[in-house]
């Protein structure tokens, strides 16, 4: 049987259960696609065929013995190159660290392996995860697969993960999100991306950008797949104390009947509160999403937010820079190191943040989070654009600004959960995306809304034409 590489995880799991394909054959399918398409797309730093096939053979043996580990056993996954795997290279998107070998394994990776998943390799990313365009001047920017003639930004910092899933080089990937780094490449590449609440998923073994703001989340073809992955990676971990205070993820609620959204209240961010000018096609996508959600039974209405997304974006950036500088200060000013100039400049920006300013920023964040929780008492989700415009050409990038994070950074600053969903296409065939922000630890509600939206639309089923590079 021919397996569609753009299948969801749930569909691939069903094919494995019906013995229509083996885990080894499935891994081979994606490894072959990576081998053929990656020279153009640059989604992967490197595929790891040895590890993938070893894990796949073990999954087949378990299935033959009737000892399958669960719904993800034998399914391939791509990993952002900041997730440590002991003994293997983790370069964190930096040419300076191309030989950096991990001495530990990230909890997320351990849990994916415990679920029986098959790691295909590490995906490209913005250096040190500090950037939203998806650029990487030293290792190369992944190629957005929706336009093979003109290189367009893939979004970042989980750029390679977004491209890998969009191009069918992996059915799912793991990314990190500090200011939108899961949601932005998801929206730009036409896939689903979940930003989790801080503390829901362990950060142990994920190289940090910002201790306060980092989160780990799935990048998938569907919201249902995101729920499956989150169920595997969420949960308490004594090596990350923040997880010990977090409630569990309710996967049953996330995957409950989504034929109707009756009783749910979805607020819409008024356009006069947008922090940046938004392209007409992205505004139209938000309007169409409102129509679909109303037809599904949700109460959808504009509601003014007592917080300024523009201010939250700037304050989020200040915290990222300050904490990134504390992490990289020992070498960031070492000129001979092959570091990207834009990332170096961003990190050095944190040098200017005084201790008093940093403490004031943390206090402001605490107050803003409290205001968000209070405001959300009367709603279940906030709908907005995910990004202000579709993927622009690489030549149009201005590294001194971060417009793609205009709507996403607020989610990290407020410690909200967030979901980016495919929501249409521009006139020139580029993906459009919307964002839902929810209460802390209410991922189940966002995923249920996302599943309902995707049952009523087919945007997440669309795929780019890879032409000659598509096996």
The DSSP bridge partners found for residue 77 are 119
Cβ atoms of 437 and 381 within 8 Å: the answer is yes
Distances (CA, A) of 410 to 231, 307, 413: 25, 9, 5
Nearest alpha-carbon partner for 397 in 164, 41, 167, 151: 151
Structure-token match 């967030």, residue found: 418
Annotated active-site positions, please? Answer: 80, 157, 181
The DSSP bridge partners found for residue 152 are 393
Cβ atoms of 267 and 381 within 8 Å: the answer is yes
Helix 49-64 vs helix 23-41: angle between axes, to the nearest 10 degrees? Answer: 160
3-class DSSP state for residue 214?
A: coil
CA distance 425 to 175: 23
Distances (CA, A) of 401 to 12, 72, 93, 349, 404: 40, 39, 20, 13, 9
Cβ atoms of 438 and 380 within 8 Å: the answer is yes
Structure-token match 């087919």, residue found: 458
Nearest alpha-carbon partner for 431 in 224, 192, 175: 192
Cβ atoms of 387 and 311 within 8 Å: the answer is no
> Angle at the Cα of 32 (from 183 to 62), degrees rounded to 5?
85
Rg value, the chain, Cα: 20
């Amino acid at each position: 049987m021919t397996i569609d590489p753009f299948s969801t995880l749930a569909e691939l799991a069903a094919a494995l259960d019906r013995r229509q394909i083996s885990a080894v054959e499935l891994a081979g399918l994606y490894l072959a696609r990576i081998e053929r398409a990656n020279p153009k797309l640059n989604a992967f730093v490197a595929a790891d065929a040895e590890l993938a096939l070893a894990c796949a053979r073990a999954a087949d043996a378990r299935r033959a013995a009737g000892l399958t580990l669960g719904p993800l056993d034998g399914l391939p996954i791509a990993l952002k190159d900041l997730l440590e795997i002991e003994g293997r290279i983790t370069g964190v998107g930096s040419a300076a660290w191309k030989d950096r070998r991990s001495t530990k394994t990230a909890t997320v990776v351990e849990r994916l392996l415990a679920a029986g998943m098959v790691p295909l390799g590490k995906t490209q990313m913005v250096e040190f995860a500090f950037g939203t365009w998806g650029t990487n001047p030293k290792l190369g920017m992944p190629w957005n697969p929706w336009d093979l003639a003109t290189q367009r930004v893939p979004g970042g910092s989980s750029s390679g993960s977004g491209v890998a899933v969009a191009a069918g080089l992996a059915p799912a990937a793991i990314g990190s999100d500090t200011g939108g780094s899961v949601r932005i490449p998801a929206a730009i590449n036409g896939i689903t991306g979940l930003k989790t609440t801080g503390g829901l998923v362990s950060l142990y073994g994920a190289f940090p950008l910002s201790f306060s703001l980092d989160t780990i989340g799935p990048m998938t073809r569907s919201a249902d797949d995101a729920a499956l992955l989150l169920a595997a990676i969420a949960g308490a971990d004594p090596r990350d104390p923040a997880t010990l205070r977090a409630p569990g993820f309710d996967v049953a609620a996330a995957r409950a009947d989504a034929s109707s959204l009756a009783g749910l209240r979805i607020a819409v961010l008024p356009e006069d509160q947008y922090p940046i000018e938004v392209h007409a096609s992205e505004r139209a996508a938000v309007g169409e999403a409102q129509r679909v959600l109303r037809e599904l039974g949700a109460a959808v209405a504009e509601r003014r937010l007592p917080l300024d997304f523009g201010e939250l974006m700037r304050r989020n950036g200040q915290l990222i820079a300050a904490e990134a500088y504390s992490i990289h200060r020992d070498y960031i000013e070492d000129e001979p190191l092959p570091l990207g100039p834009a990332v170096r400049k961003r990190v050095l920006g944190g040098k200017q943040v005084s201790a008093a300013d940093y403490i004031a920023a943390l206090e402001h964040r605490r107050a803003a989070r409290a205001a968000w929780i209070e405001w959300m008492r009367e709603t279940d989700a906030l709908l907005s654009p995910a990004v202000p415009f579709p993927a622009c050409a690489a030549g149009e990038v201005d590294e001194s600004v971060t417009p793609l994070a205009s709507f996403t950074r607020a989610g990290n600053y407020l410690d909200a959960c967030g979901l980016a969903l495919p929501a249409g296409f521009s006139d020139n065939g580029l993906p459009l995306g919307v964002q839902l922000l929810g209460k802390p630890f209410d991922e189940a509600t966002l995923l249920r809304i996302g599943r309902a939206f995707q049952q009523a639309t087919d945007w997440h089923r669309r795929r780019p034409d890879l032409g000659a590079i598509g096996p």
